[in-house]
Amino acid sequence: MNASTTVDLNCDMGESFGAWTLGQDAELMPLLTSANVACGFHAGDPSVMRQTVRRALAAGVAIGAHPGLPDLVGFGRRNMDISAEEAFDMTVYQLGALAAVVRAEGGQLHHLKPHGALYNMAATNAALAEAIAEALYKVQPELMLYGLAGSELTKAGEKIGLRTAHEVFADRTYQPNGTLTPRRQPDALITSSEVAIAQVLRMVQGGWVRTQQGTEVAIRADTVCLHGDGAHALEFARQLRTALAGAGVVVQIPGPAPATPSPSGR
């Protein structure tokens, strides 16, 4: 079992676009320790990226690039038949865009976490996983790579020499092979806060998760993903923080924290 007394809380942020607003970024940010900022392919735009980075820096939250598939209409959650070379190029392009925004605001990037379908594809496809890991390694090898616990992505990161964070999900059900239940299937999402919190505590403190089929699978929980686009996301985040504190689990940024930014002068 991979039990832990510390854990990171991350959330996908900056997923508004133009005139459309998604999520409760301003309210959720203080409850997190790391934020995955959309880089414009599946969501986000230059102004939203900058605003989100500013919020994270003000709250002392670690900033991660959140590259996705080029699919605004499908929010990056639809599989695409891409090659490993395309996955590499997409990752480099989006990482570079957010890195520039973070640097302009006087901050430092902390990690990279793929989004949606790209994330799930890389969890089981070794070639895609290796391409994403290589992209990060060649651009900013000091950053952490967030990936599904025990997946091809975390294996690829560790193999190439990246620091990796094994990620678990509070509101998703699991399959016996450790993958997430596809969203299109029944019971893919956990809608009860009590059930979701119990699952998180089992994964963090016990090092295991109960699958949709009722079996128990060992799991490593370095970071827990909270989805910020749910109707009760803010209340759930507060409840989870309270439950973790009550269980003696310290919520903190994984690995070395980014340096505190100097004033931008604007």
pLDDT digits (tens, 9 = 90+) for 155-178: 999 999 999 999 999 999 999 999
For the chain, where are the E strands, in sequence order? Answer: 6-13, 34-38, 62-66, 109-112, 144-148, 163-169, 208-210, 216-218, 223-226, 250-251
CA distances from 78 to 56, 175, 183 (A): 28, 20, 10
User: What's the CATH fold of domain 6-251?
Assistant: TIM Barrel (3.20.20)
**CA 8, CA 224: separation in Å to the nearest integer?**
6
Alpha-carbon distance 173 to 31, whole Å?
23
pLDDT for res 3 = 63
DSSP letter at 40 equals S
pTM score, whole prediction: 0.93
Mean pLDDT of 28-51: 97
How far apart, in whole angstroms, are the C-alpha atoms of residue 240 and residue 165? 20
In this prediction, residues 82-109 reach a mean pLDDT of 98
Residue-level pLDDT at 2: 61
